[in-house]
Amino acid sequence: MTTYNYEKHIEGGTTFNEGDVDCDRADISATGSFIPAPTYTARTIKCAKDATVWSSGSATVVIDNLIADTAVLTCKDSATLRIKSITARIVTIEAEASANLRMEAGEIEIVAGTVKKSSYACFAGKIAQQDNVDAETASTWSVGRCL
C-alpha cells in the first residue's frame, strides 16, 4: 500500500488552484506579507488521516470540501481561512490577530481551540460531541451560523 502525503506551501502574490486531492495527510499553507497576499483554493481535500491548513499575513485559503480524521486549522494576521464544508472527527482551530476562520457546513465530533485578538471564527454545521473553543480579547466564536 502506497501512502501519499500532499504538501502545498505558497507565499507572496502567488495564486494556486487545486482540484481534488485524495491523500493520507495534507499540509497546506499560504503565507503573505500583507500586499500582495497569496490565495490558495481547492475543490476537495480528502485525507485518510490528518490535514493541517495554515493561512497568515492577509493570505486567503478557500477549500470547498475538507474531509479528514483530524484537522488543524490556523488563521493569523488578518488572513482568511474558509472551509465551505468540513467532515472530521477532531478539529483544532486557532484564529488570532484580526483573522477570519469560517467553517460553513459539515459535521465535526469534537472542536477545540482559541479565537483571540479581534478575530472571528464560526462553524455553521453540526458538532456531534464537544465544543471546547474559547473566545478571548474582543473575539467571536459562533456556532450554528456564520455571519
The residue ranges of every structural domain in the chain are 5-131
How confident is the model at residue 35, as a pLDDT? 76
- Structure confidence by residue, pLDDT tens digits, 12-45: 889 999 999 999 999 999 999 767 899 999 999 9
How confident is the model at residue 34, as a pLDDT? 65
> How many beta carbons lie within 10 A of that of residue 30, not counting itself?
30
Q: Distances from the Cα of 12 to the Cαs of 32, 38, 61, 84, in angstroms?
A: 5, 6, 13, 24
Closest CA to 83 of 106, 99, 57: 106
- Structure confidence by residue, pLDDT tens digits, 58-114: 999 999 999 999 999 999 999 999 999 999 999 999 999 999 999 999 999 999 999
Q: Distances from the Cα of 103 to the Cαs of 93, 123, 145, in angstroms?
A: 10, 5, 9
Closest CA to 52 of 38, 71, 33: 71
Q: What is the residue-averaged pLDDT of the chain?
A: 95
CA distance 22 to 62: 17
